Structure 1
């Protein structure tokens, strides 16, 4: 008698600036979980988190995925508005494993991972520590520095340093950043992804404007020295049957674009950027980056899956670690699934591996025992 399909809870949306990207990622993950033999292995239920943090049942989640747009007032008409997490919707407690497809705060930062941990239900991706360290760029960079991993020069800033009632302090901050980093530089909120809230500054006015923009999204900021470099990316997967900690790295990919830098619009608009997979670099550079990607995961205690980004200066051979993303995008333009596809692991196999990595031993036996 074949084992019953494993109940997988796919949760997406979220109270984050990356809400719309999460919906597009969830569409891809759902397609993978329902493709081929996965349709026999898994029974997937979808749950939607609205922009206020309220959890909604499968009927609402399905409608959002079909439209590909956040739920509006009409979609939620006649239903209670929870406003933040007030308990699970119908059917959620029946899930045997959770697959969070949540980008940014309140989903990628250890919060929902803590919820699943308290429930004692396995979930895809990093745990609380790895998620929190990977999300906060200040903490992430400190962990990378402690591990001796190369990074471009950077500075940490607190939003309170921009207090306009203390112009002397603001002036001192700008002078410090100019002295440490110079121009151009990039200003980033510490706890956002998908290039949300990031700006490039070429002078003091743009730097102050960028700091104010980022401070509107997060009280913790990071400013990085701008470098002229190629942008390389590597996908990491933690396999249950792997050697050691099971971490394995994909082939490298490269992001190419005509814009001044890789901002949100360039990242998610058709035709404004393209990928080169595998990246056209030497085998030696590829090996260095792939090894560094695994070291980056270990430095922040990341597991399950991650995408690690690099800056590569071809003229000098310098390779800098940019950042790690512990819940990378799964949209049609996202590097993570494309890198694994190029490494011989198509989408249905990839999401199957991810669910296996989330499971307890009895769950893994159940999934693997399903007819292939």
Structure 2
């Protein structure tokens, strides 16, 4: 797949007419259970971004929500000895905080420590938010950036929220005629009002679709909090585990088939799909859980061994999902290719992993867009995108 170079955005000017490079704030970490994976993603982005073209400001959000100025040291932001990194390890101060502007006429970022005079860090021209999960990927950060008039990489408020909430994601896909698998949702008030009725709802679902079932948080990612349940005896424990991450849970039926992923990237003429990839079964794990993805991962098959007709169909569906959820910038769409040869969309990720082993950049590399160009294209698209309602 050929990829024309993204156009260069206008270079901002400093007072006095001196030109400067656009400043990119890479924001990562956050309060969700995917904090560590976000740090790993940020390290890969910081390593790849063109420093001759952009000034870079790394900003980490701690697990308790503090915005911290962090070291620009990508090598410290990797999984080591089966442990994921965190923002607290990278923060330049245990007390200092970064304050983002909320005035659209002022993009000056300020750093403050207790007892010290606040220090201006300069204007930010675009934010690259590589947060995963709630409080970052779900429209909350996007809303803050919209209020401040700051351009940012990726989808807007609505698409980010839809992409995070698996229930409403599936409802949107269904309304656009896209194929989704069987599921049932237990909302927090439903569980609080009558746990027995909620359990019966799941058991009735199992009676229709069979065991095993997958119980998962409705608004989480990276396969965190998911349990494969083989019978009623394991149901309560699975619900408790999912509710540790989200009070709303989603229960899905088993879909037998191959796991296929496809990347979508917004070009000047609209969104395009990458070559698809296949996630092979991980023999040491019952399913594709967090450790199978990030700790004991095996290389995906890129491109996926599909027929030309299958490749064209999954690419069509990936772009259709991107458009259905009103996404911008990028998406990774995940599918099952069932035993009867049909593609079923499982979910989309509006800010997919950019770790060195992540499938999204690998799929685009196989499609002719290397990692550095991918990062550059996303930043340029954000800089050139109109702010406000669109």
TM bin (shorter chain): 0.7 to 0.9
- Structure 2: where are the runs of 5+ without partners? 1-10, 12-18, 79-84, 103-108, 112-119
8 A Cα contact 2:43 2:74, kept in partner: no
- Structure 1: where are the runs of 5+ without partners? 364-372
Of 39, 50, 58, 1:23 maps to 39
**C-alpha displacement at 1:41, in angstroms?**
1.2
Give the structure 2 partner of residue 327 of structure 1: 351
Q: Distance in 1 between matches of 2:304 and 2:179?
A: 20
Q: CA 1:78/1:331 → structure 2, altered by over 3 Å: closer, same or farther?
A: closer
TM-score w.r.t. length of structure 1: 0.87
Q: Distance in 1 between matches of 2:385 and 2:251?
A: 44
Tell me the number of residue pairs that the alignment of Structure 1 and Structure 2 aligns: 348
8 A Cα contact 1:187 1:223, kept in partner: yes
**Worse-matched range after superposition: 179-188 or 167-176:** 167-176
8 A Cα contact 2:101 2:148, kept in partner: no
Of 92, 96, 99, 2:128 maps to 99
Q: Distance in 2 between matches of 1:40 and 1:198?
A: 42
The alignment status of 1:158 with 2:182, answered yes or no, reads: no
Q: Distance in 1 between matches of 2:101 and 2:246?
A: 25
TM-score w.r.t. length of structure 2: 0.83
**C-alpha displacement at 1:116, in angstroms?**
0.7
Of 213, 216, 230, 1:188 maps to 216
**C-alpha displacement at 1:330, in angstroms?**
0.5
Of 288, 309, 312, 1:284 maps to 309
Give the structure 2 partner of residue 11 of structure 1: 27
8 A Cα contact 1:54 1:85, kept in partner: no
The alignment status of 1:250 with 2:279, answered yes or no, reads: no
Matched ranges for 1:323-362 at <5 A: 323-360=347-384
**C-alpha displacement at 1:347, in angstroms?**
0.7
The alignment status of 1:206 with 2:206, answered yes or no, reads: no
Of 242, 245, 260, 2:286 maps to 260
SS in 2 for 1:251: coil
Q: Distance in 1 between matches of 2:257 and 2:201?
A: 27
Give the structure 2 partner of residue 368 of structure 1: none
Alignment root-mean-square deviation, CA: 2.5
8 A Cα contact 1:233 1:310, kept in partner: yes
SS in 2 for 1:359: helix
Q: Distance in 2 between matches of 1:44 and 1:167?
A: 50
Q: Distance in 2 between matches of 1:307 and 1:248?
A: 12
Q: Distance in 2 between matches of 1:14 and 1:278?
A: 33
The alignment status of 1:138 with 2:138, answered yes or no, reads: no
Higher normalized helix content (fraction of residues)? 1
**C-alpha displacement at 1:40, in angstroms?**
1.8
Higher relative contact order structure (alpha carbons within 8 Å, sequence separation ≥ 6): 1
